[in-house]
Amino acid sequence: MAYEPWIDVDPAALRHNARTVASLAGGRPVLAVVKNDGYGLGAARVGPILDQAPEVAGFAVVRAWEALALREAGVRKPVLLMGLTDGEEAVELVLRGVRLAPFTDDAVATITAAARVLGDLVPVHLYIDTGMNRLGMPHHRALPWMEELNAAGVARVEGTFMTFTESDDFDDEQLSRFLDLTGRAREQGVELGRLHAASSNGLFFHPPAHMDMVRTGLVLYGAYPAGARELDRADLRVAFRLRARVVRVEQLRPGDSVNYGREYIAQRHTWVATIPMGHADGYPRGAANRARVLIGGRTYPVIGAVSASHVIVEIGDERTVQTGDVANLLGPDHDEVHPNTVAKKAGVSVYDILMHLRVA
């Protein structure tokens, strides 16, 4: 029996969520974001499942190794690298069918070199910065750059995209900048491909940004970007379970404490169980003394501190848990372990819950 924590992925839930996302987007195709190693679930694990979903048109990542991992896992649909690459790495990616996202002033040179090796046009999505000021060609000087790339005849533009700041009072301005730019580019005969901007947040809260395709990550895995605000609009299913087996069950005496800091001191004889999952694995520190864990159909409170590798839960007066029992720390089987619930109780974003998972 293994006692290392693990993640189970539910293929049926992933496919259900892909259908739900497409429906919310009015039937538009979905560019599935599997960055940060598939939101902590493993890009090579979720990629092949979503690859079979007809609603999914392709994938988006931010690291070159993630793009290659998808290909190694058998993903056949287009993969977009939303990060900077050049030189030999760009050539390798293009040869593996990965789409580049040019946004630098020297992008024409990089794409020309890749096209020469490929012997064909290089498929790309143009990355436009409309105010995020993180990545992308700034919108106010993008048109000449787009025209230069179009005139070079070395790229096949499959898409043009931007990223929202997800600030309610600025998103409309960002979208206006994007539509103004792409409108002027079309007038100049610049090829744009599919326009996309809406992330999971935009899917729910900014319908005008759905455009030709939505680019969602979090919602595909069954979590809601803002929580309760979306519950009446979509039935998402948590597509994974974060699990570990109990490694110790012991009875505390009055006055005994658990874990670092002695934040929990027993007031009476009570049973506790240790689970080998901690903040180094992505379980939030803030869950201590707030969140609960599901074991054998019942939930138990997390007590003391969440240490790097362990969580301790209070079982109570009777020993209802045994060493080797499976503990569910996150998943669909009880509202107390839903990612949004744990995130709220821990005082963190639900994005932090998934993005920080580090479980094999």
- In this predicted structure, what is the pLDDT of residue 233? 75
Quote the mean pLDDT of the chain.
96
Kindly give, in sequence order, each residue whose CB lies less than 8 Å from that of residue 207, ignoring residues fewer than 6 positions away: none
| 3-class SS of residue 37 | helix
Residue 35 annotated in active site: yes
Structure token pair of residue 346: 């821990």
- In this predicted structure, what is the pLDDT of residue 234? 84
Give yes or no for residue 230 having a pLDDT over 80: no
Task: Output the furthest CA–CA distance in the chain (Å, rounded).
Answer: 78
Which class for 175: exposed (0-12), middle (13-18), buried (19 or more C-beta within 10 A)?
Answer: buried
As a whole number, mean pLDDT of residues 249-262 equals 97
Cβ-count burial 4-37 (b if 16+ within 10 Å, e if not): ebebebbeebbbbbbebbbebbeebbbbbbbbbb
Residue of 39, 224, 260, 283 marked catalytic: 260
High-pLDDT (> 90) share of the chain, %: 94
Structure confidence by residue, pLDDT tens digits, 46-105: 999 999 999 999 999 999 999 999 999 999 999 999 999 988 999 999 999 999 999 999
Give yes or no for residue 20 having a pLDDT over 80: yes
- In this predicted structure, what is the pLDDT of residue 2? 85
Q: Give the whole-angstrom CA distance, residue 32 versus residue 216.
A: 6
Contact 112, 149 (CB under 8 A): no
- In this predicted structure, what is the pLDDT of residue 125? 98
CA distances, 224 to each of 9, 41, 48, 316, 339 (Å): 17, 16, 23, 33, 9
**Domains located in the chain, CATH noted:** 10-222 (3.20.20.10), 240-355 (2.40.37.10)
CA distances, 49 to each of 41, 53, 73, 74, 237 (Å): 12, 7, 10, 10, 15
Residue 77 annotated in active site: no
High-pLDDT (> 70) share of the chain, %: 98
Report residue 231's pLDDT band, with 50, 70 and 90 as the boundaries: low
